[in-house]
Amino acid sequence: MNTPNLGYRAGAGAQTGAIYDEGLRQHMLRVYNYMGLGLVVTGLVAFMVSSTPALYVPIFSSPLKWVVMLAPLAFVMLFSFKMQTMSAASAQAMFWAFCAVMGLSLASVFLVFTGTSIARTFFIAATMFGATSLYGYTTRRDLTQFSSFLIMGLIGVVIASIVNIFLGSTALQFAISVIGIAVFVGLTAWDTQTIKEQYAENFDAESRQKLAVFGAFSLYLNFINIFQLLLNFTGERE
């Protein structure tokens, strides 16, 4: 007598699971779409500035270059402090503004390295990012056990990078690049798993949008840092 009822419950559970999986898939696609568009904005701004002497000469030949170099860090801090109280629309607007400012900061890359080496490094960074993000999405292993190590490594890399701006040490830059790549590859996997686990089917549209923007912001930062650090090894200077 209970068999039909059990069958109905099993069917309902499978349907609910399918709905959840589809919702999660759409959420992750939204995250990656935001990230991808952010990279496009960054690339376009960087290329436009580096191709226009009237823009890059006043910036990179004056103290204004320090403002441009440190502005992305200010955005990161603002995002961290305001993410809980920010609306989805504000978060999205700030994300696009951050991507544009990052493009302004990365314009120097096009002035220093050859276009071929930049394209090659971008492909390598994209491959590394894609593989580790896929691992973070599919693995059943809890990656939070590595979070303390990754966060400490991230803080160390940021502090060392700021110090090396003034020291200009080649040896320190090499160490920063090696450790930094390992840290940001690990963060890519951990952030992907976190974004996946934070998703809930009962979130309203505002919450889903906001969560997607912040997820894209985290992954975008990881990719940009992997790309920049790899340039120190694979980039060919003009």
Is 92 within 8 Å of 198 (Cβ atoms)? no
Alpha-carbon distance 65 to 56, whole Å? 9
Is 20 within 8 Å of 201 (Cβ atoms)? yes
Alpha-carbon distance 57 to 54, whole Å? 6
Chain centroid, CA 74 distance in Å? 16
Overall average pLDDT of the 156-165 stretch: 83
- Range from 6-15, 96-105, 166-175, 183-192 carrying the lowest mean pLDDT: 6-15
Q: Helix (H, G, I), strand (E, B), or coil: what is residue 113?
A: strand
Highest averaged pLDDT of the listed ranges 12-16, 20-24, 150-154, 231-235: 150-154
Handedness of CA 47, 161, 178, 187 (dihedral sign): negative
Closest by alpha carbon to 224, among 72, 88, 80, 65?
Answer: 72
pTM for the model? 0.85
Tell me the pLDDT tens digit for each residue of 200-211. Answer: 656 677 778 888
Tell me the pLDDT tens digit for each residue of 45-92. Answer: 998 988 888 777 877 777 777 777 777 777 778 877 777 788 888 888
Tokens (6 digits) for 165: 């701006």
Residue 1 half-sphere exposure toward CB, CA atoms < 13 A: 0
Overall average pLDDT of the 7-21 stretch: 56
Q: What value does the mean pLDDT of the chain take?
A: 83
Residue 126 half-sphere exposure toward CB, CA atoms < 13 A: 10
Instruction: Enumerate residues 6+ apart whose C-beta is below 8 A from 114.
Output: 235, 236, 237, 238
What is the pLDDT at residue 31?
94
What is the pLDDT at residue 171?
83
Other C-beta atoms closer than 10 Å to the C-beta of 105 total 24
